Structure 1
């Protein structure tokens, strides 16, 4: 076989992180992004290595025996819902198998099984979506949607997306219809020219409050008054509490605010999590599945025995975990790098009459070493990139009796567990919580104690 050769084969196995394998039809295993066990696919060889062949799926020529569910019009083209076609029961089974294999691959064979707790809702669960302006084909009509799978330049329409609710779909459709009439150019990431970049919609699932943020460059001076009035007149289930205009002239294809202007209402919204009210700003982290987050935190709290004198809540975001755990501690100290999120966390503590929490703005790898008190429990909820090695060393040096590690990226978790075990900790309990139905992602909670 040669590079760029097109081959056809069956998918034999799925591995955690959204990759799949063929193990039986060639002299080496074939590994690729995407794919569902049982599918027959056509793929192109990208790289040949000593022990494997790297390939890219071009098309699915035969569906899997697991694919029994209805899908949206762009399933397979949009890179979002990789397992929308699989029943939710089977999705949980696949995630359970993949998580256990991942733990065993990194030497954690003492874990004999991992329960994956399902999300209370599997469709229309997202409380935040970041859509991109662009087109599917060069010089095509303006679209607002998501990147096409394996393409950073092409956008696909997602107006019938099944993981967002009807309010999102109406806002998307209305925005697209209005802005197409204005003839405004979308931003091109290669030439760095254009105006329209992103549309970010956030919604309080338990409050029905909507915050809309249109992100543009400063290259065009356009009056958005008519757009605001049109949005205000859409018949929605929820209530628009704020419309923002964010200027972003960075070259990066991310929402990087240079300036934020409030066009209507306010620049925050509220949601309720485990009977506590949280104020959420445009760029604050908040779990994207609110109902799933309630399950996540309940599951985490059930792993902890008794009340603690001091808990460290590292990577604390808007304070959701620290505030939720405050009833289990005399004091909670949270550290979060995003200052805006820290301010929200402080306000959230006051709003919920919580007086035993303290939030510090700064990088965990720098701030944790400044703390002098020794906690009984350290809660870790790092970003997808994981924990900085220096921060992990400082965390270990506290010799906390217990560590509760919540991870949105179990591939980083299993690596950090090697270091934690070498430092005297042992794994007591592991559970998965499916915060991302219809995708290959899964949140994982690991409870450790010091020997």
Structure 2
């Protein structure tokens, strides 16, 4: 190892969650490297040197794996948006299955038989109906580099839907103070929405676009609709959803539909009480609404709650609570048979977890977008009296390390 330069040749062992791969330093410490493959020999530059581990940037691959392919995107390994374009899609699925298996191997009661095969995405590329760009100091759109806040300007993206790409390339946006992010969303019938985010509101930006789109400006001063509507309509299976500019919605609709099918498969067709936490705009609620006599839904985002009220307007037996899950759930005097969870990446906070355990629902279905926090929360739920029935991973985000999972848990018999 060249200690001055921090460069070293390493052999790559296996993938880990987060888009990196594990190798070993001469002192046997693990070193984590992106954009490589197992069994490759790579020259790397140490970028973070800690007592128990290190991180390194790839300089070049000395001995390539026979599974390495030429990435379709010219920005791959510069832009941090994709992590696995250097392998065929079938290999990406195998890798993600391996990562999930390893993450859950330390969960009490887990066995390989509990883990189903990952559900592949019908579209490996151009599957996103929402793309968020960062804006650099020169007003150029791009994505952040891997493991860095540096913005890499780009002029193409293989994950964005075709209509989003067309809109992006026609976009003529005047640079203005405070602009930090631009979202381009595609809804039903190829309707497009531009969302401009500013950290500090100074003035409404000037925008020229030769096609009809909705444009919304978000800042600390609130929402300003510059053109068109303040929402889009999305179709999922046979249902339609009103989604405002500030609200989250699934970016890969075809995979979301499969996930809904599985959640519905896991839950009883008839029941008394369902408690749904982190409910968003009501995506799962809409497909479960007619199965339960009472539904209690909790969501913190006021925008998502407004959308939820529109999307579930037909139903009088649904009680929506607006506010923090950890503050509301302990106050609910209910006995749900089923609890459905779809938290953000951070997972479930300890206070909410204790409230969930005190409810002693017969079934818990946990929808997760982060396998590491899911693994942590499953341990707590199992310690609290539940056992794992099944975990199903979904490849919601091909070409990236992200993995969605749906876990089914049942209350232990007394």
Q: Same fold (TM over 0.5)?
A: yes
Q: Secondary structure at the match of 2:105?
A: helix
Alpha-carbon distance in 2 for matches of 1:69, 1:312: 47
Show the counterpart of 2:344. Answer: 383
For 1:223 and 1:27, locate their aligned partners in 2 and report how far apart those are by CA, in whole Å.
54
Q: 1:218 offset after TM fit, Å?
A: 5.2
Does 2:295 match 1:312?
Answer: no
Cα distance in 2 between the residues matched to 1:33 and 1:444 = 25
The answer on whether the counterparts of 1:40 and 1:60 sit within 8 Å (CA) in structure 2 is no
Q: State the shift of 1:4 in Å.
A: 5.6
The answer (yes or no) to whether the contact 1:74–1:156 under 8 Å persists in 2 is no
Instruction: Output the CA distance in 2 between the equivalents of 1:438 and 1:169.
Output: 18
What is residue 128 of structure 2 aligned with on the other side?
126
Aligned-partner Cα distance in 1 for 2:4–2:301:
44
Is the alpha carbon distance of 1:106 and 1:261 closer, same or farther for their aligned partners in structure 2, counting shifts above 3 Å?
same
Check 1:340–1:170 CA distance in 2 against 1; reply closer, same or farther (3 A cut).
same
- Residue of structure 2 in register with 1:90 after alignment: 91
* Residue number in structure 2 paired with 1:151: 148
Q: CA-to-partner distance for each residue in 1:269-306, whole Å, 9 max, x for gaps?
A: 10011211100011111112111111111122212243
1:438 positional shift: 0.8
Greater shift in the superposed pair: 271-280 or 112-121: 112-121
* Distance in 1 between residues matched to 2:205 and 2:327, nearest whole Å: 44
Q: Please state whether the residue corresponding to 1:438 is helix, strand or coil.
A: coil
State the 1:118 CA deviation. 1.0
Aligned pair in 2 of structure 1 residues 355, 54: CA closer, same or farther (>3 Å)? same
**Range 381-390 or range 52-61, more displaced:** 52-61
Q: Does 1:203 align with 2:186?
A: yes
CA contact (8 A) 1:21 1:31 kept: yes
Q: Quick one: distance in 2 between partners of 1:171 and 1:218?
A: 26
Counting only pairs closer than 5 Å after superposition, residues 9-24 of structure 1 correspond to structure 2 as: 9-23=10-24
- Is structure 2 residue 330 aligned with structure 1 residue 340? no
Q: C-alpha distance in 1, partners of 2:34/2:235?
A: 35
The offset of 1:265, in angstroms, is 1.1
* Displacement after TM superposition at 1:309 (Å): 1.0
Say whether the 8 Å CA contact 1:43–1:55 is kept in structure 2: no
Asked if the contact 2:85/2:399 (under 8 Å) is kept, the reply is: yes
Matched, 1:174 2:170: yes
**What is the correspondence of 1:43-62 to structure 2 with a 5 Å cutoff?**
43-45=44-46, 46-49=48-51, 52-62=52-62
| TM-score (norm. length: structure 2) | 0.91
For 1:168 and 1:131, locate their aligned partners in 2 and report how far apart those are by CA, in whole Å.
12
Query: What whole-Å deviation, never above 9, does each CA across 1:290-333 have from its counterpart, x for those lacking one?
Result: 11111111122212243221111100011111112223322221
Contact (CA 8 Å) 1:308, 1:328: kept in 2 or not?
yes
How many matched pairs? 407
| TM-score, scaled to structure 1 | 0.84
Match of 1:267 among 230, 255, 267: 230
Q: CA deviation at 1:108?
A: 4.4
* Alpha-carbon separation, structure 2, partners of 1:57 and 1:209: 40
Q: Does 1:434 align with 2:400?
A: no
Moved more, 439-448 or 64-73: 64-73
- SS of equivalent to 2:122: coil
Contact 2:135 2:141 in 1 (8 A): yes
1:281 matched to which residue of 2?
Answer: 244
Whole-angstrom distance in 2 between the partners of 1:48 and 1:76: 24
Contact 1:323 1:354 in 2 (8 A): no
8 Å CA contact 1:144–1:172 kept in 2: the answer is no
Unaligned 5+ runs, structure 2: none
> Unaligned regions of 5+ residues in structure 1, if any?
136-140, 186-193, 248-256
C-alpha displacement of 1:168? 2.0
The match for 2:198 is 216
Residue 331 of structure 2 is aligned to residue 370 of structure 1: yes
Q: Is the 8 A contact 1:21 1:29 kept in 2?
A: no
Tell me the residue number matched to 2:31.
31
Q: Residue 447 of structure 1 corresponds to which residue in structure 2?
A: 408
- 1:432, 1:385 → 2: CA distance? 18
Which SS does the other structure have where 1:105 is aligned?
Answer: coil
Distance in 1 between the 2:5 and 2:354 partners? 45
8 Å contact 1:331–1:356 — kept in the other structure? yes
SS at 1:167 equivalent: helix
- When residues 284 and 382 of structure 1 are mapped into structure 2, their CA distance, relative to the original with a 3 A threshold, is same
In 2, Cα distance between equivalents of 1:399 and 1:220: 51
